Amino acid sequence: MGCVSVPTRRVVVGVWWSALVVGVGGGDGDRCRTVSAVIQRVFKNLAVLDPDGAPDESAQLERDGYAHLRGVFDSNAVAAMRRETETAYETYPAERVRGDKAEFRYEMFNRSAACQAAIAHPTILRVVEPLLGDDCHVIANTAWRNPPEFPGGPWHCDAGPHVPRPAGVPWDDRIPYPVFAVAGHIYLQDCRTADGPTAVVPGSHRSGRLPPYDRLATEEPTYDGRPPLALETDAGDVLLFVSDAWHRGMPAEPGGRGRFFLQVHYARRDIAQRVKLTDDVNHVAPEAAERATTERARTVIGLHAPFFYDG
């Protein structure tokens, strides 16, 4: 049995013939899970893809909800992205509705050639395409520059869960868990514990539920006995996680710099792009917009307020 390295102390992945077996230690006792397949696009539809046709990181995303791709970009590529991203902060004003909106710049592939090239890097696409289809596209592309005093963010999942499920209803592991969107963090500087790294609860994308908000004030969330992992990264690394996974930015510590990364969300072709606000890019004629006099009348024709991915 051959082994591949995983960026955590708690998970060990092994490849055995055409099945992927994971042994997990996490408080509920060790257990094994076999991932039998992922997906592929067949004409205009989807079909099962044998895992032999996908890299190990794709199976890890389907199984654990995250994957850490190390050293995807060299120092020259990182320097170019960083330079053009810093130019975007200087050139474009803070946008949209968040209270911390100065930390973000949106639609970065429109504003940086280096960032546009980065989000199409073959190393990233070969990992996400077996889960999303080889016609998946970018639905959001935002630069993040958190300050040294970054307070951290709440535990959440992005727009999901896409397959809601009551507690106590297990997922049949013979069925590949459906993935609709994958977030990528392309790191423009090192991110250590003091900088407030991104933390993920492994396997939580399979829960079909939101993080347990009623308990988060007093305890960290776990899923299936697996605690959160704060994922330290180097400049040029890419952290991928399924949008349904419970995750957060950890608070920065004294001496930390905060996070600086390019975020990109890949999604199935069926999911609409959110790079620009629907007020700016839509399929609605001006006279139709004028007739939409209530909020629901606006949303039913595709005019939505900013939310996950574009807010």
Per-residue pLDDT of the chain (311 residues; tens, 9 = 90+): 334 333 332 222 222 222 333 333 333 333 344 455 677 777 777 777 777 778 999 989 999 999 999 999 999 999 999 999 999 999 999 988 888 899 999 999 999 999 999 999 999 999 999 999 999 999 999 999 999 999 999 999 998 899 999 988 988 888 888 999 999 999 999 999 999 999 999 999 999 999 998 888 778 999 999 999 999 999 999 999 999 999 999 999 999 999 999 999 999 999 999 999 999 999 999 999 999 999 999 999 999 988 888 85
Kindly report, as residue ranges, where domains of CATH 2.60.120.620 are found in the chain: 55-275
As given in the structure block, the two tokens for residue 113 are 């050639």
pLDDT at 104: 94
Strands annotated E in the chain:
2-4, 11-16, 19-24, 31-35, 38-42, 45-49, 66-69, 104-105, 137-145, 181-187, 198-200, 229-230, 238-242, 247-249, 260-267
In angstroms, what is the C-alpha Rg of the chain? 20
Structure tokens at 71: 């050293």
In order of 19, 46, 140, the CA distances from 133 in angstroms are 20, 8, 17
- Structure confidence at residue 54 (pLDDT): 87
Dist. CA 82–CA 80, nearest whole Å: 5
pLDDT of residue 32: 45
Burial of 301 (0-12, 13-18, 19+ CB in 10 A): middle
Pairing label, strands 198-200, 229-230: antiparallel
Strand, coil or helix: 145: strand
How much of the chain is helix, strand and coil, in % rounded to 5? Answer: 25, 25, 50
Which fold does the domain 55-275 belong to in CATH?
A: Jelly Rolls (2.60.120)
Provide φ and ψ at 91, rounded to 5°. Answer: -90, -40
